[in-house]
């Protein structure tokens, strides 16, 4: 019954895609490795890349695109649900001005693996370009905004951006880096700090014309295989899960306050802590057999080494929740996208992603 319910939900969601598609002229994606589709490939000095096997083994033609996945990621599946073929391409991958000029512009993905809300997150040294920070992603979007103004004019630009969707998935790396730093900031101070930085970024996007936001909060970080290896019996690291819950609560308050101030913005907030734990607690109902072990890696829970061409690789990838020690498999990413798109208020509120175009 539970498996049939999941199938029916997926079928219903697919059935409404066409009615939504016409109302979404472009999609803009900002964030970290959960939505990166190849940004870091263009950073020669970056140490955070996935443009080599076994990554992409289930992507069309088995191409390692830079996605931290065996195939597509959640950003891809969200875009598909809105009628796109996949996530828009990385900012560095195309001539943005040309695509705007010939009216084939459908959006940009700015996400960069390893990045965070804080400018210091993910950067190895000030001189080494390891990631594109969230602040830099906002600057990149501002250049796209200026190009839109130049080619389309202010009225057309405002119309396009007000109907476009802005997907954001970020914050995990900030929390992890602080937790494992030699002098961590207590949760009671650090999470509100992240909230203030997030608010600044959102206000910048709003000032540039963004109006419809699909926000993916931080997942249950303590249940990643990389964290389970330190716990007795491979259980979740609850302190990290608690920080993820605190971050979600901060985002709920932040977005609610922004909505009161800006009457014309609409948002949908995904509670990926509860989404993740629900799948773990009901794994068989979602056809997952392995929720603790990574598919690609080495050592305990296949999570002591990163995914590489010489890593141990599972053959039944659809049965794994985690691709590597941190990231979901293509199957898990698809499930996450469907939940964000059409899920109940427990998992996504005050509306789900499918309701953003009409809101």
Which are the catalytic amino acids?
33, 324, 327
Q: Are strands 320-322 and 290-294 parallel, antiparallel or unpaired?
A: parallel
Name 320's bridge partners: 290
Distance CA 76, CA 270 (A): 16
Please, which residues have CB within 8 angstroms of residue 135's CB and are 6 or more apart in sequence? 119, 201
What's the start-to-end Cα distance of the chain, in Å? 33
**Cα-Cα-Cα-Cα dihedral sign, residues 298, 304, 310, 311:** positive
Could you write out the DSSP letters of every residue in 22-86? TT---EEEEESTTT-SSGGGG-TT-S----STTTTTTSGGG---S-SSSS--HHHHHHHHTT-SS
**Cα-Cα-Cα-Cα dihedral sign, residues 48, 51, 52, 54:** positive
Cα dihedral 335, 354, 76, 336, rounded to 10, equals: -20
């Amino acid at each position: 019954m539970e498996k049939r319910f999941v199938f029916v939900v997926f079928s219903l969601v697919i059935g409404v895609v066409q009615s939504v598609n016409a109302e979404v002229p472009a999609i803009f994606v900002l964030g970290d490795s959960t939505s990166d589709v190849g940004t870091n490939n263009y950073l020669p000095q970056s140490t955070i890349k996935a443009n080599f096997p076994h990554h992409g083994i289930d992507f069309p033609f088995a191409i390692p695109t830079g996605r931290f996945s065996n195939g597509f990621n959640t950003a891809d599946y969200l875009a598909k649900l809105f009628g796109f073929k996949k996530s828009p391409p990385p900012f560095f991958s195309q001539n943005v001005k040309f695509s705007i000029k010939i009216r084939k512009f459908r959006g940009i993905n700015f996400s960069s693996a390893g990045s965070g809300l804080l400018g210091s997150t993910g950067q190895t040294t000030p001189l080494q370009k390891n990631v594109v920070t969230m602040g830099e992603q906002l600057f990149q979007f501002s250049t796209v905004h200026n190009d839109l103004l130049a080619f389309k004019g202010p009225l057309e630009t405002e119309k396009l951006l007000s109907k476009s969707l802005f997907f954001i998935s970020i914050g995990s790396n900030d929390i992890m880096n602080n937790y494992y730093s030699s002098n961590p900031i207590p949760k009671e101070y650090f999470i509100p700090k992240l909230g203030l930085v997030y608010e600044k970024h959102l206000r910048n996007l709003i000032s540039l014309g963004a109006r419809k936001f699909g926000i993916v909060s931080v997942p249950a970080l303590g249940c990643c295989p990389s964290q389970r290896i330190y716990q007795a019996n491979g259980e979740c690291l609850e302190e990290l899960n608690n920080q993820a819950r605190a971050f979600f609560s901060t985002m709920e308050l932040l977005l609610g306050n922004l909505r009161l101030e800006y009457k014309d913005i609409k948002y949908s907030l995904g509670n990926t802590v509860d989404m993740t734990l629900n799948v773990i607690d009901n794994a068989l109902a979602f056809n997952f057999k392995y929720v603790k072990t990574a598919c690609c890696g080495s050592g305990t829970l296949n999570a002591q080494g990163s995914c590489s061409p010489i890593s141990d690789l599972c053959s039944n990838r659809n049965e794994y929740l985690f691709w590597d020690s941190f990231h979901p498999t293509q199957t898990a990413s698809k499930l996450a996208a469907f939940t964000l798109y059409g899920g109940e208020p427990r998992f996504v509120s005050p509306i789900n992603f499918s309701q953003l175009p009409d809101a």
